[in-house]
Structure 1
Amino acid sequence: MKSTLVWKTLKLSPALLGLSLFAVSHADAAIPDQTANTSKSTVELNRQLSETSIEIDPLQIASDVPPSLNPTNMTADSNRELLEQIQRYSGENDAESLNQVTSVGQLRDVSPGDWAYEALRSLVERYGCIAGYPDGTYRGNRALTRYEFAAGLNACLNQIERLIGTGGFDETELETLRRLIQEFEAELATLGARVDNLERRVAFLEDNQFSTTTKLKGEVIFNLGGAFSDEDLRIDGEDDDDDGDVDAFGDNLTFSHRTRLNFDTSFMGEDRLRVRLQAGNIPEFDEATGTEMARLGYEAATDNDIVIDDLIYEFPLGDKIMIAIGANDFDFNEIANLHNPYLESSGTGALNRFYRRNPFVFRNNAEQGVGANIMFSDSLSLDVAYVTGESESPADKDGVFNGDFTAISQLNLALADTLDLGFAFGYSYYPGEDVNLSGSTGSPRAKEPFGEIATSALRFGIQGNWRVTPTINLAGWGGYIDAEAEAGDREGDDADLWTWMASVSFLDLGKEGAIFSVAGGMPPKLTDVDGGDEDDDTSFLIEAQYKYPITDNILITPGAYVILNPNHDDGNDDIWVGTIRTTFSF
């Protein structure tokens, strides 16, 4: 009968004797006389345990937890408090692992004069249940909480089983164990439920996981918006549809969507292969308005056909270099720092395409390429890339080196913790088709200053981001392109293009996570060209938006932007675009 009682008791708390004795060394604050002998200290400890113990049948403890203490019947607040305490304890122990000692002399901060010396020596030599810190200390004055005590993991299980089998475990020690079980019954019940729940969750995830290497992330945008103006635009001073009339547009309000599924796969832990599927019907407002300045920053005119929008592989090369290779929709922005943190995202950033990033640096009409980010220090890094537009084509004036390409770099400086700057320089060449120097954000002349003939361009850009205060952020850029005609009658002609933007964002305005942003700038403009016409006037773009998080996964962004003198022509009426964008992320 006695052996059965012992075994049932051990089933509920397999290591509490060793842990209870472990607690003695931490209880010196409760012992008034530190010079007292070990026997007196043990009696005092047993008296305290007896006074605070709960009267309960040990057989009931060994077989079933009382219903009042069953985790399924405990209040949610009580369980939550217990688990938070236990998790904090686990986090502390992760930082400093303990090492088993075989002699009390291995503990540098324990001396024979300490009141608990004999108890520690007994624990080490009799039970083998004492662990020290890696630096050889025991830290006996450190406070021990009930949760730390309850979260101990079987430190003495094997030793107790061995002692019971050899008759080395007496009745007094069994009685101490019973009292400890009663005192810490609630914590033990909660720990048991937590382990059981974790085991069930792990088993479920293993049986139902999408992939062992791939994570699925999604984003869906619902967009309600429209473009409004009194009349159609003129291109080069002419009615854009050549029907002899000036046509009104913009009376229609549109409702559309963009859906993205990102499959991120890691093969080595620090690498990532991204495959993005996209479908949508968000309109391209340039087709309705006659100017690319009106384009949205998150359009998806695929007529709801599913396309592969991104195909990029990133991997580290040592500790300081990250390499990126893109086979589809890859440009310099995929690897470089854009220095525009609150407006750069296509799903949650600027409403207008122009404001997301400097078009002279990060929009090179590219589709494939390779790039790298090199970290020299925490405050100095270099982005480099070689990108092409038709590298998949074997046709003449296509391919990796014979088609259009851009070689570009950016030096990044982090000044203190609040100011970041980027200085970019690049060279582009277009063999005659698909010339696009403006990144489809400016005037037609800025896009093709010489028409569809071979064109080269030197690209310069400076962009920066300044956190003025914890709740105010400034960002902006300036860009310049020196273009030259490389073929035909205009070979040798030069052209100058300029652009700039500035924005201010107010963080946590009205709610934590909410951001109000105002931006203004000049879209790419052809200011001077040999043997051709430059843009006579100047367009200005102004945008205001308010990002408001409904939940952690739902963000609503009402806003509007206006284009003054569209296509750098004051003969064109201003265009207004209003939109309410709702972004769901999962």
Structure 2
Amino acid sequence: MKKILAIAAVAALSAGVSAYAANPFSDVTPSDWAYQAVVDLSDQGVVEGYPDGTFKGERNITRYELAQIIARLMAKEDQLNAEQRATLDKLAGEYADELANLGVRVANLEKKVGNLSFSGNGYMKFYQTYKTVKDDDGKVREYTGKSDDKYVGRIRINVKGQVNDSTYVNGLLRSDMNFKDSETSNTYMQRLYVRHAFGDKVEATLGKYDQFFGQTGVFFDSEIKGAELAFHANDAANLAVGYGRFDDWTGYTDKGVTNPDHEYAYAQFSGEAGRFAYDVDYVNGTSTNKVNIWGAGLTAGLGGGFDVFGDYYKNTDAKGDPDLWTAGLGYGKQDNAKVGSFRVAASYVDAERNAFLGAYTYDASPLDALENSAVKEVKFWRAEGDVTLAKNVRLHGEYSFDVKTKGTDTDYDDVASVSLNYVF
């Protein structure tokens, strides 16, 4: 392609970005058909000439030269409208290799096609869980005290569609694979929601979206089918209120394992300031679980790479006001982009029945002991670690030990997991 034609196309893409400017090139005259495009883009810093002051518009433009132009235009992306940004995204995808050589991290952020952006993650995991004895009706009656090894894999593909400047639709497609059982796979849409921003401070979410309570993931880390309204004052003060069905939330009541499938209302106030991150949570629902839970979590940096963290939750509607708490110490900061970065942590967990409702982050955990209706409380120590082995490849390990229960003489083994995690 002739250089002058490429510049005319880029000028059309960036129309409206700049005003008219003086001619900087000796071989471009006002009578040339692309004169205004050349001088406008030169004034914006999108195109450059040669050291002798010429433009050489009749030369064939190289992919590398065009990538330079695209990179400079990307720096002005916030000045483009949605249609222009979509065209620029397509060009960036076409010239991704050349842009990478220029140090422009387009492909490292999100893969874009028009108004769609793609990202994802996956893992291969080996872990131990408790082996159970069940009746013919499938209900758990007792535990053998032995463990069962499992080897599983997962991949998730996230797709974000930009509807307009204020609204986007997000979907997360998930597929799980069990490499030891006859039932080898399960594929489904884990998340699907629309999010609309009302200015810079307020946004609404509708559909099936993810929610996280606490600092450790022990209380709830899963999806909610419902609606949420969020208010963002600044990094230190954010409020979210919502209503819906909590996906994967299993109740460990006195009658055993239940999944009441009831609606819940919730509120969360959270933020980060300096070395501190916090959240204060409230969940209320009418069900067999009698859920009226208050709780809070805090992470505090101590300096030197150390931090302390913990969560506390109490259910004031259940008999005895059962509570759940965990506290721990961590060191380091694992970064998927920084090979060799790592984090290790140790914590203690104490969970009473009806304070803990499932959907936790832990891979393999003694919290599963609460599925035994005789267990009223479970306590254990937990160690975990993460290290970046290669760019976007993380090794994760967990080990829960010294497990103690209240309400049963059943012996519960230590449990452990190890996984390779990938992001793309």
Question: Could you say which TM-score interval applies, normalised by the shorter chain?
Answer: 0.5 to 0.7
Counterpart contact for 1:234–1:572, Cα < 8 Å: no
Q: Which of 374, 379, 386 in structure 2 is aligned with 1:540?
A: 379
Cα displacement string for residues 504-535 of structure 1 (whole angstroms, at most 9, x for unaligned residues): 221148965311122221124359xxxxxx97
Q: Superposed, which structure 2 residues align to 1:243-322 within 5 Å? A: 247=144, 249-250=146-147, 253-281=149-177, 303-322=184-203
Task: Name the CA distance, whole Å, in 2 between partners of 1:267 and 1:468.
Answer: 43
Cα displacement string for residues 385-427 of structure 1 (whole angstroms, at most 9, x for unaligned residues): 111369xxxxxxxxxxx9722111122354x411133222232
Structure 1 residues not aligned, in runs of 5+: 1-10, 12-96, 102-127, 130-153, 163-178, 285-299, 341-354, 391-401, 438-455, 485-493, 528-533
Task: Name the CA distance, whole Å, in 2 between partners of 1:426 and 1:268.
Answer: 33
Cα displacement string for residues 263-295 of structure 1 (whole angstroms, at most 9, x for unaligned residues): 2211114533221221213599xxxxxxxxxxx
The one-letter amino acid paired with 2:383 is A
Task: Name the CA distance, whole Å, in 2 between partners of 1:263 and 1:180.
Answer: 45
The one-letter amino acid paired with 1:275 is G
Counterpart contact for 1:409–1:425, Cα < 8 Å: yes
Q: CA deviation at 1:478?
A: 0.4
Quote the residue 1:478 is aligned against.
312
Counterpart contact for 1:374–1:382, Cα < 8 Å: yes
Counterpart contact for 2:120–2:158, Cα < 8 Å: yes
Q: SS of 1:496's equivalent?
A: coil
- Say whether 1:409 aligns with 2:248: no
Q: CA deviation at 1:378?
A: 4.1
The one-letter amino acid paired with 2:150 is T
- Say whether 1:358 aligns with 2:219: yes
Counterpart contact for 1:375–1:382, Cα < 8 Å: yes
- Say whether 1:194 aligns with 2:64: yes
Task: Name the CA distance, whole Å, in 1 between partners of 2:303 and 2:167.
Answer: 35
Quote the residue 2:417 is aligned against.
579
Quote the residue 1:369 is aligned against.
226
Quote the residue 1:513 is aligned against.
341
Counterpart contact for 1:227–1:575, Cα < 8 Å: no
Task: Name the CA distance, whole Å, in 1 between partners of 2:380 and 2:163.
Answer: 44
Quote the residue 1:469 is aligned against.
303
- Say whether 1:427 aligns with 2:308: no
The one-letter amino acid paired with 2:187 is I
Counterpart contact for 2:352–2:378, Cα < 8 Å: no
Quote the residue 2:322 is aligned against.
497
The one-letter amino acid paired with 2:306 is I
Quote the residue 2:398 is aligned against.
559
The one-letter amino acid paired with 1:499 is L
Task: Name the CA distance, whole Å, in 2 between partners of 1:470 and 1:98.
Answer: 48
Counterpart contact for 2:90–2:112, Cα < 8 Å: no
| Number of aligned positions between the proteins | 322
Task: Name the CA distance, whole Å, in 1 between partners of 2:152 and 2:375.
Answer: 36
Quote the residue 1:490 is aligned against.
none
Greater Rg by CA: 1
Structure 2 residues not aligned, in runs of 5+: 5-16, 33-49, 71-88, 97-110, 248-259, 356-372
The one-letter amino acid paired with 1:552 is K
Q: SS of 2:322's equivalent?
A: strand
Q: SS of 2:164's equivalent?
A: coil
Task: Name the CA distance, whole Å, in 2 between partners of 1:379 and 1:315.
Answer: 22
Counterpart contact for 1:539–1:569, Cα < 8 Å: no
Task: Name the CA distance, whole Å, in 2 between partners of 1:155 and 1:464.
Answer: 60
Q: SS of 1:382's equivalent?
A: strand
Seen in structure 2, the aligned counterparts of structure 1 residues 279 and 470 have a Cα distance that, compared at 3 Å, is: same
Cα displacement string for residues 12-39 of structure 1 (whole angstroms, at most 9, x for unaligned residues): xxxxxxxxxxxxxxxxxxxxxxxxxxxx
- Say whether 1:383 aligns with 2:240: yes
Cα displacement string for residues 166-216 of structure 1 (whole angstroms, at most 9, x for unaligned residues): xxxxxxxxxxxxx9549x9xxxx9x96631456899659469997412222
Counterpart contact for 1:539–1:563, Cα < 8 Å: no
Q: Percent identity?
A: 9
The one-letter amino acid paired with 2:330 is S
Seen in structure 2, the aligned counterparts of structure 1 residues 233 and 476 have a Cα distance that, compared at 3 Å, is: farther
Cα displacement string for residues 123-178 of structure 1 (whole angstroms, at most 9, x for unaligned residues): xxxxx55xxxxxxxxxxxxxxxxxxxxxxxx555545989xxxxxxxxxxxxxxxx
Task: Name the CA distance, whole Å, in 2 between partners of 1:558 and 1:388.
Answer: 31
Seen in structure 2, the aligned counterparts of structure 1 residues 412 and 557 have a Cα distance that, compared at 3 Å, is: closer
Seen in structure 2, the aligned counterparts of structure 1 residues 98 and 383 have a Cα distance that, compared at 3 Å, is: closer
Task: Name the CA distance, whole Å, in 2 between partners of 1:523 and 1:309.
Answer: 28
Counterpart contact for 2:344–2:385, Cα < 8 Å: yes
Q: Superposed, which structure 2 residues align to 1:45-444 within 5 Å? A: 154-155=24-25, 157-159=27-29, 181=52, 194-197=64-67, 205=93, 211-227=113-129, 241=141, 247=144, 249-250=146-147, 253-281=149-177, 303-326=184-207, 328=208, 330=209, 332-333=211-212, 338=213, 340=215, 355-359=216-220, 367-388=224-245, 404-412=262-270, 414=272, 416-430=273-287, 435=288, 437=289
Seen in structure 2, the aligned counterparts of structure 1 residues 267 and 523 have a Cα distance that, compared at 3 Å, is: same
Task: Name the CA distance, whole Å, in 1 between partners of 2:182 and 2:27.
Answer: 66
Quote the residue 1:80 is aligned against.
none
Seen in structure 2, the aligned counterparts of structure 1 residues 548 and 316 have a Cα distance that, compared at 3 Å, is: same
Quote the residue 1:20 is aligned against.
none
Greater share of helix residues, 1 or 2? 1
Task: Name the CA distance, whole Å, in 2 between partners of 1:378 and 1:155.
Answer: 48
Quote the residue 2:82 is aligned against.
none
Task: Name the CA distance, whole Å, in 2 between partners of 1:301 and 1:323.
Answer: 42
Task: Name the CA distance, whole Å, in 2 between partners of 1:480 and 1:547.
Answer: 30
Task: Name the CA distance, whole Å, in 2 between partners of 1:203 and 1:496.
Answer: 59
Task: Name the CA distance, whole Å, in 2 between partners of 1:301 and 1:384.
Answer: 42
The one-letter amino acid paired with 2:164 is M
Counterpart contact for 1:331–1:387, Cα < 8 Å: no
